Amino acid sequence: MKRNKKERQALLSTTIKENPFVTDEELAEKFMVSVQTIRLDRLELSIPELRERIKNVAEKRFDDEVRALPIEEIIGEIIDIELDKTAISILDIKEEHVFRRNKIARGHHLFAQANSLAVALMNDELALTAKANIQFTRSVKQNERVIAKARVVNIDTEKGRTIVEVTSFVNNELVFKGEFDMFRSEAGHRS
CATH (domain of 31): 1.10.10.10
Three-state secondary-structure class, residue 168:
strand
Q: Classify residue 55: in a domain, yes or no.
A: no
**pLDDT of res. 75:** 86
In degrees and rounded to multiples of 5, residue 99 shows phi and psi of: -75, 135
Domain housing 28:
5-47
94 and 170 share one domain: yes
| Total tally of structural domains belonging to the chain | 2
Q: Sheet containing 145-156: which strands, arranged edge to edge?
A: 77-82, 86-92, 145-156, 161-170, 173-184, 127-136
Residue 17 pLDDT > 50: yes
78 domain-assigned: yes
The answer to whether residue 160 sits within a structural domain is: yes
pLDDT-derived band at 166, boundaries 50, 70, 90: very high
**Neighbouring C-beta atoms of residue 190, cutoff 10 Å:** 9
Q: Count other C-beta atoms under 10 Å from residue 36's C-beta.
A: 10
Residue 70 has pLDDT above 90, yes or no: no
In a domain, 58, yes or no: no
Residue 137 sits in the same domain as residue 68 = yes
- Do 107 and 25 share a structural domain? no
* Reported pTM: 0.66
More confident residue, 165 or 22: 165
Q: Are residues 34 and 125 in the same domain?
A: no
DSSP element (H, E) containing 25: helix 24-31
pLDDT in tens, 123-135: 887 788 999 999 9
pLDDT of 189 reads 43
Q: Are residues 112 and 139 in the same domain?
A: yes
Q: Indicate whether 113 belongs to any domain.
A: yes
pLDDT of residue 121: 86
Residues 82 and 139 reside in one and the same domain: yes
Query: What is the distance between the alpha carbons of residues 9 and 27, in angstroms, rounded to a whole number?
Result: 11
What pLDDT is recorded for position 57?
A: 61
Residues 111 and 152 in one domain: yes
Q: Judge whether 54 lies within some domain.
A: no
Looking at the domain assignment, is residue 120 inside a domain?
Answer: yes
Share of the chain above pLDDT 90, in %: 53
* 160 has a pLDDT exceeding 90: no
- Are 42 and 72 members of one domain? no
Q: Are residues 75 and 123 in the same domain?
A: yes
